Structures are given as structure tokens and as C-alpha cells.
Structure 1
Amino acid sequence: MQIKELARRLQITPRAIRFYEEKGLITPKKADGSGYRQFTEADVWRLQTVITLREVGMSIEDIRHVLRQLDEGEGGLLHYLELQLSFVYDRWVELSKVIHTTEAMIERVKRDGESDPASLFELAEASKRLRQARSNWVDRWNFNQLAANYDQMVTEARDGFHPHERYEQVLDALVEKVAPQPGETGLDAGTGTGNLARRLRERGVTVCAFDQSPEMLKRCRQKNPGVEAKLGTFFAFPFLDSRFDFVATSYALHHLTDEQKVLALAECRRVLKPAGRLAIADFMFVDAGHRANHLEALRQSGRTDAIERIEYGYYADRSRLLAALKELGFQPEAEQLTTYVHLVFATLA
């Protein structure tokens, strides 16, 4: 078919088709003699893909990368759409923070007048610090490579150091604490290979999950057919507000700094329904004093390897975590399950 027919079929302009051709996204053949472009069904499919990806906000360069990967048989369209959705949620959450900061500034100006720019600067700086905390996270652990061996890794001690001791019992205790009820919808945040999601699903509830690692998600989906598992981060859960009766997370928050943990807790708050429940099982110390005493005991016994592993992760200060939850409107409680794992349970007031 020629360009006008293709334009009518896809409800776009010939000019748009020429633009995508100039960018190298489609390469129609020229008919012998006439010089007119001749488009095949393959060109139609390719152009439909381009239009679809543009509609969800993907850049021309990113679309070119997607098409190249598809041509080479690497990756898939689903993966790139999931990446784009994760990006959109990230921008949406970021924009909501900007809106909140701007509204706070407006309220201060209404209350105090325009004579105190220092207070507005303070709000702006706080917003900037949070934005930097969100953008500074990096995957130092390389979860895509860990995915294949993760389930074995959590059951084994290394050099006598085993922070995941009683792994299965910890997950069972978390599920018992959150007490899923038939008809509820729950979220497994930072699902990893889906071991917690499987336990929740066995309770007869609707389970959703997310993780930032595509390889971890692949294994989660294999274990949990029917679970809505999405690509996402702790700074922008890929779900809309007030969707879940409960959020559960295990062995994930210790990959976030203290400031980043607060951002993750705020996301838990955002996606929970009124009176929603939050359960966290992770590596923690009761407070800074307990942490210092434990590290000193390890040092005295020559366990520098254990100290290095603890300090490489971000084991939480439980007292600070509980205080942050109270600030967000939760009523929290906590108990220690193993040497390093604590269970925090909180309900929205």
C-alpha cells in the first residue's frame, strides 16, 4: 500500500509517517520506476508498535532501541512496556511530591505573607533532599545475577554468618501476623523470587507484587501464576492509591538507606486502604545502642567478615522505623524473631 492508504488505515497523517521514516524507525521500499513508497504488512505492524510506544511517552531513541532488540530477537515488547510503566509511575509519584511541596508553600505564604523566604527555602531544600534520596539508589547487589541462586542462598550460612536463619519460619510468622482474609487484596513489596507471595496466595487472597529486578520477577511469576507482578521500585510502587488491604515485605528494606526507607514507608501508606495493615520482616537492631554493642562484640571475637556484611547492607534502626511509621499515621508494634530479623506490624489509625 502507499502512504496515503497507510495513513488512513492507522488514522495518522502522512507527515507523521515521513517523520518516523526520517528517524529510521520504518524503512519502506520504493516501487520500481514510480519512486512511491510501498508499505507492507510488516511495515504496518512496525508503525503500530511505534505509535503505541509514543502514546505511552517513550522517546524516539528508546523506541529505536526497542525495535533493534526485537529485530535481533533479544528481549520482548512486554519487558519494554513494563519499563515504561515503571518510569511513568516514578514520574507520577515525583510530581505528586512537587504538588505537595508547592501547596505547602502556598499555605505558608497565605499564613505568614511573603516576608519570610527562608521558610520557603527550607521546604524546597527538604523536597530536593527527598528527590536526591530517590535517585541515588543503585543495585549494589546485582539482583539479576542473584536471582537464579537466591532461594538456595537464603538457606545457607556463609563463614558462620547466617542473617537469614529460620528463613521459612520468618515468612510464616509474617503471614500469620498480617492475617490475610478471603476477599482481601494484598501487596508483596520487593517480592524477589516470590516466596512470600506464594504463602499469601495460599491463604486465598488476591496477591499483587513488584520488584526492580526482571530476573527476580521472572521466577516470581513462575512460582505464582495469576499473581499481578510488576516491575517497580520502593520509591514508586507501580499501583494506584488506596488499592490494598495490606502490604507485606520481607528482606527488602535493608537495601535502602534510612532516608530511603522513609520514602518506601510513605509509598506503603499511599497504596493502603483506610485501616490498612503493613507487615515488615527485615534485618534490624532495636536502636543505635544495640547496634553498637553487637558490632563491638563481633569485633572483640574477630568477626570482621560479619561486620563488613552488616555494614554493606542498611540494617534498620527499629526505633527510627517505628517513629517514621507513627509520623505517617500508623500504629506500630515490633518483636524480634532471630538474631537480626525483626517483625514490625502497623495499622493505619
Structure 2
Amino acid sequence: MTRQFDALFDEWSMTYDHTVKGSDIEYKEVFEGYDDILSEVAKKAKGYIFEFGAGTGNLTEKMIKMGKQVYGIEPSEGMRRIARKKLPGVTIVEGDFLEFPMPKQHPDTIVSTYAFHHLTDDEKTGAIQQFGKMLGEGGRIVFADTIFVSNEAKQDMIKEAESKQFNRLAADLKSEFYTTIPKMNQLFGEAGFDASFTQKNRFVWLAEAMKRRE
């Protein structure tokens, strides 16, 4: 997995929790309904859970409070430090969607929020194929992330950000690997999943994928 964002997230770790609460005007719409979105993902996670991109532990904390077993995976040292401080005793290891220490127990659910867009389409393909091998029949993936209905919709959002002089958001949308619903649906289907998508705000969609019978 590309690690070009690690330094950025180490730097962002100290202010990340303020950003997701809407304090940054450029990203306010991206994180609209953040707490409710995390709560919905947490409720949908069943059994033994792998969480990729655990960040500062906000989703992790919700799942732990619900009495769920979580194996957290996070590439940023700064983010891991904050998450471990919030959640002493909870397992949060160094790793990413493609490379991570595999525990003895396989997951029943794989979750992630605001992170899958850091992978190129080729990396997304590899990750979802790997998840398909790890999850048994009825296993599920629950992701919440910025996804677009089409590439045209993505370009429209970039133009809108530029017109508002939201230069950091526009640069973010141009440089990271935000994908489309048709592409995600294709990748899930090829890996043996049936997927559905629900829009949560102007940027974020909830993707749910269930492993089909062999």
C-alpha cells in the first residue's frame, strides 16, 4: 500500500478529532454526521471485527462500548498513540489494508471509515480479494468513505471546492484515490460479495458487502 500519507496523518493526529467535529470549514460537509455514521458502522459489525484505519480510535471506542471484539489496524504512529491512550488494553497494531500482522482468529466483519480512498484502484482490488479469502460465508464488509456516483460527479465536486476557494479540499480530491460506486460494486462482485450503498452526506457513502455462498 502506498504510504505517502503517513507523515500527513502523523501531523494531523493532534487535530484530527477537532476536524471531524466540524471545526474546519473546508471539511465540514465531508464529516457531516460523523458520529452517527460511526455509530451505524459499529452497530452493523458482528462477531470478531477487523478495523482498518483505526485512526484515533473513535469507531473502535464505539464498538468496544457495545461489547464487541475489535482488532485495530492503523499505519500512522501518531494516530496509534492517541488511540491507545484513549483505549488502554485494546489491540491496535501497525499495518494497513494490504500488510498487517494476522491474528490467529479470522474476522467475521471487516470495517473501515474515511480510509479506503488512500488505496489506488489496483490496491483496492487486492485488498477486497484478500478480504474475500479471509471472510467465510455470510462474512461482511462495512465501509464508510467518500465515494462518487461517477467520475463526472467527482469533477463537479472539485470545481465546486475551487469556486469556494476550498483549496485544501480541492487538492485532496485531486490527489487521493477516491473511486466510484460502479467501480466499488465491480470489485466487491469479483471477490464474491453482494454489495449495497447508502448515501450519508454529500461526500460519504456507507458500503455494505456480504460474502456469497460458494
TM-score range, shorter chain: 0.7 to 0.9
Cα distance 1:210–1:140, how it changes in 2: closer, same or farther (>3 A)? closer
1:175 to 19, 28, 42: 42
Q: Does 1:326 align with 2:192?
A: no
Structure 1 contact 234–267 (Cα < 8 Å) conserved: no
Structure 1 contact 241–271 (Cα < 8 Å) conserved: no
Count of aligned pairs: 210
Q: For residue 139 of structure 2, give the secondary structure of its aligned residue in structure 1.
A: strand
Cα distance 1:145–1:160, how it changes in 2: closer, same or farther (>3 A)? closer
Cα separation, 2, equivalents of 1:151 and 1:298 = 22
Per the TM alignment, residue 240 of structure 1 is displaced from its structure 2 partner at its CA by 4.9
Cα distance 1:242–1:312, how it changes in 2: closer, same or farther (>3 A)? same
Give per-residue Cα distances to partners, 1:146-194, cap 9 Å, x unaligned: 2222111222353444211221111112223x253xxx21111110111
Tell me which residue corresponds to 2:31: 164
Per the TM alignment, residue 209 of structure 1 is displaced from its structure 2 partner at its CA by 0.6
Cα separation, 1, equivalents of 2:26 and 2:17 = 18
Q: Which has the higher contact order (CA 8 A, sep 6+)?
A: 2
Q: For residue 204 of structure 1, give the secondary structure of its aligned residue in structure 2.
A: coil
Cα separation, 1, equivalents of 2:15 and 2:129 = 31
Structure 2 contact 45–111 (Cα < 8 Å) conserved: no
Q: Does 1:279 align with 2:142?
A: yes
Per the TM alignment, residue 285 of structure 1 is displaced from its structure 2 partner at its CA by 0.5
Cα distance 1:345–1:199, how it changes in 2: closer, same or farther (>3 A)? same
Cα separation, 2, equivalents of 1:237 and 1:270 = 15
Give per-residue Cα distances to partners, 1:100-133, cap 9 Å, x unaligned: xxxxxxxxxxxxxxxxxxxxxxxxxxxxxxxxxx
Q: For residue 15 of structure 2, give the secondary structure of its aligned residue in structure 1.
A: helix
Deviates more, 1:273-282 or 1:310-319: 310-319
Per the TM alignment, residue 231 of structure 1 is displaced from its structure 2 partner at its CA by 0.9
Cα separation, 2, equivalents of 1:221 and 1:271 = 26
Tell me which residue corresponds to 1:315: 178
Q: Does 1:145 align with 2:11?
A: yes
Deviates more, 1:188-197 or 1:139-148: 139-148
Tell me which residue corresponds to 2:205: 342
Cα separation, 2, equivalents of 1:138 and 1:201 = 30
Tell me which residue corresponds to 2:79: 216
Deviates more, 1:223-232 or 1:302-311: 302-311
Cα distance 1:250–1:315, how it changes in 2: closer, same or farther (>3 A)? same
Cα separation, 2, equivalents of 1:294 and 1:229 = 34
2:152 to 264, 289, 294: 289
Q: Structure 1-normalised TM-score?
A: 0.55
Tell me which residue corresponds to 2:21: 155
Q: For residue 97 of structure 2, give the secondary structure of its aligned residue in structure 1.
A: coil
Give per-residue Cα distances to partners, 1:216-251, cap 9 Å, x unaligned: 112222222332211112112321587011011001
Q: More helix by proportion, 1 or 2?
A: 1
Identity of aligned residues (%): 25
Cα separation, 2, equivalents of 1:167 and 1:243 = 28
Per the TM alignment, residue 256 of structure 1 is displaced from its structure 2 partner at its CA by 1.8
Q: Which amino acid aligns with 1:169?
A: D
Cα distance 1:241–1:259, how it changes in 2: closer, same or farther (>3 A)? farther
Gaps of 5+ in 1: 1-133
Bigger CA radius of gyration = 1
Cα separation, 2, equivalents of 1:191 and 1:159 = 24
Structure 1 contact 284–341 (Cα < 8 Å) conserved: yes
Cα separation, 2, equivalents of 1:140 and 1:202 = 28
Cα distance 1:233–1:174, how it changes in 2: closer, same or farther (>3 A)? same
Cα separation, 2, equivalents of 1:338 and 1:308 = 20
